[in-house]
Amino acid sequence: MSDGALSQAEIDALLSGVDSSSLGGAAKELSGDDGERKALQKLLNDTCQNQSNALSTMTGSEVVLSDANISFMNRDRLVEQLPDMVVAVKADFSSGFPGDHLFIIGEDTAKSLASMMNKEENIALDDMALSMIGEVVSQLVGTQITALTKATSNTAIASVSPEATNVPKALVALPSGTFPSVEYDLDLGNGQRQKLWEVYDGNVSHAIGAALNGSGAKKTPAAVQQQPAMAAGMQGMGMPMGGMMPMGGGMPGMGPANVQAVQFPNLMSHAASQEQANIGLIMDVFMEMTVELGRTKKLIKEILGMGEGTIIELDKLAGEPVDILVNHKLIAKGEVVVIDENFGVRVTEIVSPVERMSGIA
């Protein structure tokens, strides 16, 4: 029987900030809501293909992210699985499902990703390389937010800008208590599978899982408070609960109700005239119009290597129409002409509203 004194292992755990209840039980999987875990795991696996496409585009190689597997962890158990040095990328959700959210990438894996993106071997994990890893995570989170928004109809989901740091695994800031950890397989195209981890705060994963299972929608506080007030008001006026009016019309103690059809004015002509008036208010506003001959993408080292006489090849073919943009939005296409001694452009095509809207999105 214990005499109430702490063991040396418990003292060490308290000094290191580790929950002593986890000692000796790290090999046992912690419990969590299985329905919510499965719902979140399915969504993450469904997004792996889009995430793989984004990573392949960024690196220029075929990168495959797959097999999202969620387990409920405590700090001890997750740290045991991590390599000694990692890149931790904080990407907390700021709204929608606010709370802690981060990705953990092994140092060697992070170096490989940065090298592929920068087309440079044996890259060091300096500030530039860490910013590249932050951009990788930004793409992963963006894909997840798109899928979450579609699945839950929650349009308020957003995250902070990812921030990457290269630290020993013991210094990674993990959620307290029990939390879900997602382990992915990551293939960088060399045939060797590597690991990538994603960690959610327990409250965040619970809210997401509940929303995915259709039980996340709740009445707003205003609606909840309004209903008792309405019920009390109806009772005070003699109206029975349930909101049903007494037969014969009218309120108790009052004469018959005078019911008349409501006459609504014709809104069509008024709306049209109002629209014209609103457009008239901005007719004298200046907007920037530009003509774009073409575009291209260059690595930073290629841009720094430019000098006088450098030829930059654009993505437009000779004779192809140029783009006409207003406030950086494509509205038309045309051909270049010369007016006296100046360049000009003759409009040959107006971009359809559908194309303009897709460009805005």
Q: What is the pLDDT of residue 256?
A: 58
Q: Are 72 and 32 in contact (CB under 8 A)?
A: yes
Q: Which residue has the higher pLDDT, 79 or 357?
A: 79
Q: pLDDT at residue 137 above 90?
A: yes
pLDDT of residue 359: 58
Q: CATH homologous superfamily of domain 8-212?
A: CheC-like (3.40.1550.10)
The superfamily in CATH containing domain 286-360 is SpoA-like (2.30.330.10)
Domain ranges of the chain: 8-212, 286-360
Residue whose pair of structure tokens reads 């928004």 in the numeric block? 149
Q: Which of 105-114, 116-125, 214-223 has the lowest mean pLDDT?
A: 214-223
In this structure, how many other beta carbons lie within 10 angstroms of the beta carbon of residue 82? Answer: 18
Tell me which range, 39-48, 56-65, 117-126, 306-315, is most confidently predicted by mean pLDDT.
Answer: 39-48
pLDDT at 261: 62
Mean pLDDT for 275-294 is 78
- Kindly report the average pLDDT of the chain as a whole number: 78
Specify the pLDDT at position 193.
83
Query: Of 105, 100, 107, 106, nearest to 173 (Cα)?
Result: 100
What pLDDT is attached to residue 223? 39
pLDDT for 27 beyond 70? no
Q: How confident is the model at residue 100 (pLDDT cuts 50, 70, 90)?
A: very high
Check residue 281 and give its pLDDT. Answer: 73
- Please choose, from the candidates 98, 104, 102, 69, the residue with its C-alpha nearest in 3D space to the C-alpha of residue 203: 98
pLDDT at 168: 95
For residue 287, what pLDDT is reported? 87
Q: Please tell me the predicted confidence (pLDDT) of residue 23.
A: 37
pLDDT value of position 358: 61
Beta bridge partners of 72: 180
Q: How far apart are CA 3 and CA 254, in angstroms?
A: 78
Nearest-angstrom CA–CA distance, 37 and 210: 10
Q: Give pLDDT tens digits for 38-89.
A: 999 999 999 999 999 989 888 888 999 999 999 998 999 999 999 999 999 9
Q: Is it the case that residue 300 has pLDDT exceeding 80?
A: yes
Rounded mean pLDDT, 296-316: 89
Greater confidence, 278 or 289? 289
- pLDDT value at residue 156: 92
Question: Residue 56: how many CA atoms within 13 Å on its side-chain side?
Answer: 12
Same fold yes or no, 8-212 and 286-360: no
pLDDT score, position 220: 38
Stretch among 19-23, 43-47, 175-179, 342-346 having the lowest mean pLDDT: 19-23
Cβ atoms of 86 and 105 within 8 Å: the answer is: yes
| Nearest one of 12, 167, 169, 7 to 77, comparing CA atoms | 169
Q: Enumerate the H helices of 60-106 as residue ranges.
A: 75-81
* Mean pLDDT along residues 111-135: 89
Which of 119-128, 139-148, 234-243, 277-286 shows the lowest per-residue confidence on average (mean pLDDT)? 234-243
Q: Could you give the angle at which helices 202-212 and 127-152 cross, rounded to 10 degrees?
A: 40
Closest by alpha carbon to 204, among 182, 188, 224, 189? Answer: 182
Average pLDDT in the 92-120 region? Answer: 92
**Tokens of residue 132, six digits:** 């590249």
Per-residue pLDDT band at 340 (split at 50, 70, 90): confident
Mean pLDDT within 311-338: 88
Query: Is the per-residue pLDDT at 130 higher than 80?
Result: yes
